[in-house]
Chain A
Amino acid sequence: DQQVKQNSPSLSVQEGRISILNCDYTNSMFDYFLWYKKYPAEGPTFLISISSIKDKNEDGRFTVFLNKSAKHLSLHIVPSQPGDSAVYFCAAILAQYNFNKFYFGSGTKLNVKP
């Protein structure tokens, strides 16, 4: 049972426009969410995170929004650049006794066209 879902396997956006990547989750006990960016044949790199007690976190061109009632988070990239073309994974953290467990979505491949 996949607790973190990214329902769009791919997204294509024109350079300079906004990219919106979506993620849904089922477990209301998740207390932290993260976004990772991955280039082919490389490991994912951490991009931005948000605590479950917040609804927005911004870092430069990247903003993550969290809607707890809808169990939905999104990553906005403005403006999009060709170098942003990569696979983006959302992840959620479930705090268990003395251990945090990570759950990953299946990823969305973003293509930013020049």
Chain B
Amino acid sequence: DGGITQSPKYLFRKEGQNVTLSCEQNLNHDAMYWYRQDPGQGLRLIYYSQIVNDFQKGDIAEGYSVSREKKESFPLTVTSAQKNPTAFYLCASSTRAGAGNTIYFGEGSWLTVV
């Protein structure tokens, strides 16, 4: 089955720790994204990558880091510099261009700071 796999589904982090959220896709998509959703709010773009070994900051990149060493993988690290990391994180992918392409999402990961 083609799709996007995020892990873990639930993650607890102590203050001051870095944590990494995994995202793998087998859709052969060039572009990958990380979004954050806070309760009752919309989707905010953290980082995106158009192609392997390239990525750009989104609207709320501070306190986060990413890498794109393989086409299939786009892990997100939530660093201790992120002041309010408790949220629902969504990974997504799409083709880079083309009329009418859609963006596909993973199932999401819940991160809670304890």
Residues of chain B lying within 8 A (CB to CB) of residue A51: 99-100
Q: Please tell me if the beta carbons of A41 and B88 are within 8 angstroms of each other in the complex.
A: yes
Sample 12 A-B pairs with CB under 8 A, ordered by A number: A43-B90, A43-B92, A45-B105, A46-B102, A46-B104, A49-B100, A89-B42, A89-B43, A95-B97, A99-B97, A100-B94, A104-B35
Give A contacts to B, CB under 8 Å. Answer: 6, 9, 31-32, 34, 36, 41-46, 49, 51, 89, 91, 93, 95, 98-100, 102, 104-107
Residues of chain A lying within 8 A (CB to CB) of residue B95: 100
Task: Tell me which of B65-73, B78-86, B106-114 binds A.
Answer: B106-114
Is B53 located at the chain interface by the 8 A CB criterion?
no
Give B contacts to A, CB under 8 Å. Answer: 4, 6, 31, 33, 35, 40-43, 50, 88, 90, 92, 94-108, 110
For chains A and B in complex, what number of residue pairs have CB atoms within 8 angstroms?
A: 66
Q: Please tell me if the beta carbons of A99 and B88 are within 8 angstroms of each other in the complex.
A: no
Point out the residue from A42, A98, A104 that lies within 8 Å of B97, measured CB to CB.
A98
Give the distance to chain B from A85, nearest Cβ to Cβ, in Å.
Answer: 16
Residues of chain B lying within 8 A (CB to CB) of residue A31: 99
Q: Please tell me if the beta carbons of B105 and A34 are within 8 angstroms of each other in the complex.
A: no
